Amino acid sequence: MASVASTAKVELKGVKKRFGNKVVLDGLDLVIERGQSLVVIGGSGTGKSVMIKCVLGILRPDAGEIFVDGQEVTRLGGRARDAYLRKFGMLFQGAALFDSLPVWENVAFGLIQGRGMGRRQARDIAFEKLAKVGLGPDVGELSPSELSGGMQKRVGLARAIAADPEIIFFDEPTTGLDPIMSDVINDLIVATRSTGTTALSITHDLISARKIADRIAMLYKGKIIWDGPTAEIDHSGNPYVDQFIHGRAVGPIQMEVKA
């Protein structure tokens, strides 16, 4: 069943996902318009990464539909799935780099393996993307295990943008980076937007969210409980959003901390 007259780039409808008896996504609805930069916020363990993994087909939802460019994608397999995944660039929460490959080959991996690009051209692009995240050619020849956590994150980011994808998912792009490097990364994300890329980012970093997002959505108990333009986050009128953005321990959101 095709999504009717939808202009959305990505649309989740009633997505449910549970692990055992733990319900993580409980009928999640979310729309990302073409060219938009959406940031999803929400507490640790609320299912933000699970949501992204459902869109990428790494996890299969128990119920609901996911449309990308109007195509339902939760049951894609084989070549259709490969073609689908080529639309995406992904920065995973842990950088998820291959230690057996030098940094530049990690960045070039999708170009060489996914798109059949020649190694020399892919290498040039890899170094160009590394430069965009502030890493010089010397770093390109190192093994990921020789880098700091923040440098690994930046390599993951260079890999995510390597093929100039239509849609980029950034899972915690600035976590573990110093404030100045965070802002370099924010600028980079803003720059990818100006080329028409659709972006979905997950972050706990409200400074980053305010800079990179057109819209912010908050996930709580398996659903999007607030969704609005970035400028409205400070007067959302939603006590959950208020508690979250001000980082208050006391409020409607109860942390599951055992005394």
Ligand X SMILES: Nc1ncnc2c1ncn2[C@@H]1O[C@H](COP(=O)(O)OP(=O)(O)OP(=O)(O)O)[C@@H](O)[C@H]1O
Instruction: Kindly state the greatest CA–CA separation across the chain.
Output: 57
Of the candidate spans 41-49, 74-82, 105-113, 227-235, the one that interacts with ligand X by CB under 6 A turns out to be: 41-49
In 73-147, the DSSP E strands lie at 88-91
Q: Among 36, 37, 46, 49, indicate the residue that binds Mg ion (CB under 5 A).
A: 49
Sequence-ordered list of residues with C-beta below 8 angstroms from that of 130, at least 6 positions apart, any chain: 103, 104, 107, 136, 137, 139, 140, 154, 155, 158
- Cβ closest to ligand X, residue 95 vs residue 163: 95
Enumerate residues 4-33 that contact ligand X by CB under 6 A.
19, 24
Q: Which of 42/110 has CB closer to ligand X?
A: 42
Residue nearest to Mg ion (CB): 49
In the list 49, 106, 186, 192, the residue contacting ligand X (rule: CB under 6 A) is 49
Non-local CB neighbours of 148 within 8 Å, separated by 6+ positions: none
Q: Taking contact as CB under 6 A, which single stretch among the options 37-45, 70-78, 179-187, 229-237 is the one that binds ligand X?
A: 37-45
Strands annotated E in the chain = 8-19, 22-33, 37-41, 63-68, 71-72, 88-91, 167-171, 198-202, 215-220, 223-229
The residue (of 149 and 239) whose beta carbon lies closer to Mg ion is: 149
Binding mask 86-125 for ligand X (x = CB under 6 A): -------x--------------------------------
What is the number of other CB atoms lying within 10 angstroms of the CB of residue 106? 26
Instruction: Give the interface with Mg ion as residue ranges (CB under 5 A).
Output: 48-49, 93
Give the interface with ligand X as residue ranges (CB under 6 A): 19, 24, 42, 44-50, 93
